[in-house]
Amino acid sequence: MVCEFMLIPRRDGAEIDSPLDLLPLPNGPWNGKIAYLDRDGVLNVGSENYINSPDELVILPDTAKSVAALRESGFRVCVVTNQSPIGRGLWSHDNLHEIHNKLRESLLSENTNAHLDLILYSPYAPWEGAWARKPNPGMLEAARQIISASEKNVEIKLKFDNDWDEKSDESNSIMVGDREVDMMAAFNFGVKGIRCDPEVGISDVISEILGD
């Protein structure tokens, strides 16, 4: 059991510290870069009333092309998303998993390289003070450790905050979000934050990321 008192992230479709099967990157071995992506307003159209079912999920234009471009440029891609409806009692983890299945299927149907390596989420309500909930960096901390351990094929042993004393170089990684809490999470983690237009999503900033 890892740090349950800190209210750590949850992982879509698996236990947080279970092995992660990583697909090979399209153009060679991984060099340590991770693209940490918010979900709503980055990959799909957001809503003030939440995305409550797979039917409500609308992928933003050129999202699949942009995710594929990240992986083709050597990035592992991890979604890090606040999902407080679970903590508010509006719906379940299973419902969120169905939404994420639709997200994955929709991206891959447009581009076979638009694979999401990992999806982490914070199910906690804002008043719970969870380390997992952005602007705190818990999801990004977990993502780095899960992906790095899985690349090395070693056991995932998660640590958070001051207990994590072997932090990685994030100078080539990025965090993309459409809100200030995303940029604060990036700052708190020590990774470059890039803010996109929520009406456009990640395609708004993909040229900036890739240096085109």
Tell me the per-residue pLDDT of 5-54, one tens digit each, with 9 for 90 and over. 579 999 999 999 999 999 999 999 999 999 999 999 999 999 999 999 99
Domain that holds residue 165: 4-210
The CATH number of the domain where 133 resides is what? 3.40.50.1000
Contact 70, 26 (CB under 8 A): no
What would the mean pLDDT of 120-134 be, rounded to a whole number? 96
Looking at residue 5, its pLDDT comes to 57
User: 4 falls in which pLDDT band (50, 70, 90)?
Assistant: very low
* pLDDT exceeds cutoff 80 at 106: yes
What does pTM read for this prediction?
A: 0.96
Q: What mean pLDDT value characterizes the chain? A: 95
Closest CA to 171 of 27, 30, 26, 34: 34
Domain count, the chain: 1
* pLDDT exceeds cutoff 70 at 155: yes
Q: How far apart are CA 116 and CA 108, in angstroms?
A: 9
Catalytic residue set: 38, 40
Q: Where does residue 211 fall: left (phi above 0), alpha (psi -120 to 50 degrees), or beta otherwise?
A: left
Starting at the edge strand that comes first in sequence, how are the strands of the sheet with 10-11 ordered?
10-11, 118-122, 76-82, 34-37, 174-177, 192-195
